[in-house]
Structure formats: structure tokens, C-alpha cells
A and B are shown apart, each in its own frame.
Chain A
Amino acid sequence: DIQMTQSPSSVSASVGDRVTITCRASQGISSWLAWYQQKPGKAPKLLIYAASSLQSGVPSRFSGSGSGTDFTLTISSLQPEDFATYYCQQANSFPPHFGPGTKVDIK
């Protein structure tokens, strides 16, 4: 199985800040990575797939990059509605494991 790690586990930030979250795969997965946002009590929402492709309807302040084993999710200017937990998911093969999550909260 390909295992996923994320860092940091949590980050405190202010509205307008640039936030970067890192995800690492235990082996190379090319560009096959997805990112999700989850708010309390809600289902996860797909933000980015294939490492850098923005899902329809997702604001352009979200961007993804990386390939191989190292990936990043960047929020260019944090908005109040962006305070949530973010998960990466390896999209290369079954099983499609998720990372442990990164919580973005208010500073």
C-alpha cells in the first residue's frame, strides 16, 4: 500500500494569509494526488485532482503542485470560509489512502 503523510498537522493563520500544506507519499505516484476540504459535520469536498487540476466550482485561490512523492496545497489568500481540515489522497492505485489531515484554524 502507498501511505500518505501530511505536515503540519495543524496551522493557525489569519484571513488574508498564504497557507501551504505539504503531503508526502511513501512511494512515487507521479501526479496522481487529490486534495479535499472538510468542515465540521460535513462530508469532504474535492478541491484538486491530478495534483494541480482545480475541481469545477472551487475558487482559484486554491492551487496544488508537486509530483513523485512530494505535493503541496496552497491557499493564496485565506478566507473565513477556508477554516477547515484538509486531506490529501493518493490517486495512483487502489487502495486510495488518505493522509491524516491538516487543520487550518483561526490565529
Chain B
Amino acid sequence: QLQLQESGPGLVKPSETLSLTCTVSGGSISSSSYYWGWIRQPPGKGLEWIGSIYYSGSTYYNPSLKSRVTISVDTSKNQFSLKLSSVTAADTAVYYCARLVVVTAIRFDYWGQGTLVTVSS
């Protein structure tokens, strides 16, 4: 059974960089047909796609966040990571990592449990 687990600091100061890692177990991050993505959800609000990466390093980013987002992949560790720079309180959210199927129809079929990141001094 595929599992994804987010890890990283739960508290980040304003103007600093948020860094999270997603560790994939029970399957290879190098599988074809899948991208790997980050989605966030501010408290009490809806889901916002941040970006996605293929094992080769090919990326797609949400245009609204593109200037501040970097997603990278480490196939040797079966992990992918998110960096979001210059954070503000508006970046406070639960951050989820997920597997993105890109054949037939784009869909997120496996999700991590999510990790709350609070931006505060």
C-alpha cells in the first residue's frame, strides 16, 4: 500500500522560507504515469494546488505561487520537497503531499495525512 508522509517545521517566521519533505513508501517515486504534488488548505478554507514534479525533475507550478515555489525530487531517497519563500501569515495552512495520476485523467489518488505549518513570529 502506497503511503506518503510529510515532514518539516510546524512554525516558520514571516519572510523566511517554508521547507517540507514528502517521503513515499510502498512504491517507487520513479514510476511512470505519476507526478507528485503539493496541495495546501488554509484553516477553514478550500484546497489550493501548489505544484507537481515528475521523477525526472519536470515541474508544474500554480501561477499564483510560481515566483516563490521550488519543488525538487530525490529519487535515491524516494522523496520530494517543497520550498516556499518569503512566507506571510497567508501561507499558514495544512500542507498535503499527494500522488498525481496523469494518464486517462489527472487526479490525486494517494495523499499524506497533512502537516500544519503556521507562519508567525
Contact = CB atoms under 8 A, between A and B. Distances in A.
Nearest to B108: A46
Contacts of B52: 94
A87 B46 contact: yes
Given A94-B52, A96-B100, A100-B46, A32 B105 contact: yes
A95 B63 contact: yes
Given A94-B60, A96-B49, A43 B113 contact: yes
Interface residues of A, number: 29
A81 interface: no
Interface in A72-97: 87, 89, 91-97
A92 B106 contact: yes
A40 B63 CA distance: 28
A98 B49 contact: yes
B68 interface: no
A20 to B, nearest CB: 20
B96 A49 contact: no
B112 A34 contact: no
B104 to A, nearest CB: 6
A100 B105 CA distance: 20
A5 to B, nearest CB: 12
B121 to A, nearest CB: 27
Interface of B: 39, 46-49, 52, 60-63, 96, 98, 100-101, 104-109, 111-114
Given A43-B114, A95-B61, A95-B63, 10 more contacts: A38-B47, A43-B98, A44-B108, A49-B101, A53-B105, A91-B105, A98-B48, A98-B49, A99-B46, A101-B47
